[in-house]
Amino acid sequence: MSLKIWLDGKLVEKNEAKISVYDHGLLYGDGVFEGIRVYAGRVFELEAHLDRLYASARAIRLEIPLPREQFRGAIEQTFKANGFTDCYIRAVVTRGVGSLGIDPKKCHDPSVFVIADLIAVYPKEMYDKGMAVITASVMRNHPNALSPRVKSLNYLNNILARIEANDAGVPEAVMLNHLGNVSECTADNIFIVRDGQVQTPDTADGILEGVTRRVMIALCHDQKIPCVEKTLQRHDLYIADEMFVTGTGAEVMPVTKIDGREIGSGQVGPITLKLTKAFHRHVRNV
């Protein structure tokens, strides 16, 4: 089956879904996006994703040419047109076609497209056994250079850290901020468990405010598990009892080794298991 892509107001076949080589989203990474999940025919946390998309666009002075209601409809239309009940959505807004040169004033019409497809970020067996990660030497972008809270099309900072992970033979890397504190992974937010308390870096530590991260914090409250947002250092990761990462694509992934060191017992921990089960129940019942 050929996928249908929503592109600037209409559904087109995948092989016809093209943007110009003069689009500043391609030339300069000038644009914003969201990754969104559909579970059992329902778009998960859609309003939270739209909030972040429109906030990211506002932060970079990009006016999304669709009102929220129409954008919401485009997402629904796209996954239903492809017959999906469980899938991944990629919603993208670019600055649009312009001339060579970075000046956004040369771009008059932003472009919007929505992709619905299947995704498997990590193999299934990894969710049972946990994964290994490294600490990257690539520093997270300084917040005064580009706010990590903007989900922009320019992911080169994260990609360079992911290359280090690839070179080390692991699927993810932890990134530190300009102060040397833990920020996030290349595509996921990070959590640790220490003495029964779940801990995750704060917004000021240079993280993307993950939608799944926010859901996980709420689930900790529902499950009566203490959870705090606080500054973490690499030392805290090394002495953690458990670790896991969260993201729209990854969902909840246990981490059992960092920089060659086992975390806790080296097995997926009980709090991670409890929260993972709670998350799976939540996404099917909301």
Alpha carbon separation from 77 to 2, 31, 39, 46, 209 (Å, rounded): 16, 22, 15, 14, 27
b/e map of 13-27 (b: 16 or more CB within 10 Å)?
A: eeeebebeeebbbbb
Residue type, position 274, single letter = K
Q: Are strands 227-229 and 189-194 parallel, antiparallel or unpaired?
A: unpaired
b/e map of 165-197 (b: 16 or more CB within 10 Å)?
A: beebebbbbbbbbeeebbbbbbbbbbbbbbeee
Do 153 and 111 contact (CB within 8 A), yes or no? no
Q: Is 151 a catalytic residue?
A: yes
User: Which residues fall within 8 angstroms of residue 106, CB to CB, at 6 or more apart?
Assistant: 98, 99
d(C-alpha 28, C-alpha 232), whole Å: 33
Provide the 3-class DSSP secondary structure of residue 23: strand
User: Which residues fall within 8 angstroms of residue 190, CB to CB, at 6 or more apart?
Assistant: 174, 182, 184, 200, 201, 237, 243, 244, 245, 255
d(C-alpha 6, C-alpha 41), whole Å: 18
Which of 105, 151, 274, 277 is an active site residue?
Answer: 151
- Using the structure block, give the residue that is written with the tokens 């939540």: 282
d(C-alpha 24, C-alpha 19), whole Å: 10
Do 286 and 42 contact (CB within 8 A), yes or no? yes
Active site residues per annotation: 151
